[in-house]
Amino acid sequence: MITQSLAVTAVETKAGSLFWQMLRAETKKLTRRKGVMAFTVIGTVGAIVITFAILEIYHLSNPLKYSPIGGMSGFNKVIVLLGQITIISASILGTTAGSQDMESGVIRDLIVTGRSRTTIFLLRIEGAAIVWLVPLIVAFLIGMAVVFGLAGGTKEPSLHLVLGAALYCIGVSLVYVLTAAGFASLFGTRGPAIAIMIGWTFVIEALLVNVSALGPVRNLFLTTAISALSPSADRARHLQAAGVTPSLFEDYVVIVAWPLIMNLLGWIRGNRLEA
C-alpha cells in the first residue's frame, strides 16, 4: 500500500515537473523572438516612458501653458496607452504564440511525442499570457508612479479608480492576446492573422461603430465592449455620441466570447492536424 502511494506521488510529481518544463519552453520560444519582444516592450513600457517624457519636457519648458503630467490627466493617458494602444503589440505577441509551432513545423514533432494536443494548445496560450503580463505590469507601475509623483497639486485618482484601471488594462490586453493566439492557430500563419486583427480592430470596427443602420449589432464589437468598460469617461461619451449603448451584461459576454470562440476554432483546427 505504501509502495503504491509512493509510486502515485512520484508519477504526479513527474507530471507536474513536465508541465512546468513545457510551460517554461513555451515562454522561452517567445522571449527568443527578439523582434516580437522588442515590439512588446516598446508597446508597453516604451509607450509610457516616451509619452510622459515628452509631456514632461513640454511642461518644464512652459509650466503655465502645459499642466503637470500626473494627476487625473496622466491617469487617463495611462488607460488609453495600456488599455487601447497596446492592442497592437498584444495582437502581435498573441498571433506569434498561436502560429509559431505551425509555421516552423514543430507542432507535428510535439504531437508525435504523444503529448495531448489540448495540453499543447493550452500551454501555448498560457505562455503568451505570462510573457505579456510582465512588461504590461511594469508599464502600469511606471505610469502610476508618474500619476502620483508628478501630479503637481492636481486632483489624483482614488484607490478604487487605480484598481479598476489595473484590472481594465490587464483584462483588455489579455483578451486581445488570447483572441489573437486563437485566431492565429486557426490560420496557422502569423502574417495574415496580424493584418486581419489590427485591420479589423482599428479600421473596420472603428468605421462600423458609427454606422447607425447596424443598430444593436455594434454591441457585438470587441472595441465597443472595451470602450464601454473603460474607467475613462471619454470612451463612454464617444459611444454615446455614436448612439451605441450596450448593457454591462453584453459587454462582459462580448469580451469573454471573442477569445473563447477564436480559441475553440483554433483548438479544433489543431486537433485535425495529421501527425
The total of other beta-carbon atoms located within 10 Å of residue 227's CB is 24
- Residue 12 has what pLDDT? 43
Task: Find out whether 196 and 112 touch, Cβ atoms under 8 Å.
Answer: no
Specify the DSSP class assigned to residue 70. Answer: S
Cell 480559441 appears where?
Answer: 263
Measured CA to CA, the distance from residue 154 to residue 98 in angstroms comes to 44
pLDDT of residue 1: 45
- Return the pLDDT at 217: 86
Separation of alpha carbons 172 and 250, rounded Å: 15
Contacts (Cβ under 8 Å, ≥6 apart) of 98? 124, 125, 128, 180, 181, 182, 183, 184, 185, 193, 266
Rounded CA-CA distance 226/96 in Å is: 23
Query: Domain residues of the chain, as ranges?
Result: 35-271
pLDDT value of residue 52: 94
Q: Mean pLDDT per segment of 10 residues, for the chain of length 275 residues?
A: 40 56 82 89 94 93 89 91 88 87 62 67 87 94 94 88 92 92 84 87 86 86 86 70 80 92 86 63
**Rounded Cα gap, residues 135 and 215, in angstroms:** 38
Alpha carbons 191 and 193: distance in angstroms, whole number: 5
Q: Taking the complete model, does pTM exceed 0.85, yes or no?
A: no
For residues 197 and 236, what is the distance between their CA atoms, to the nearest angstrom? 23
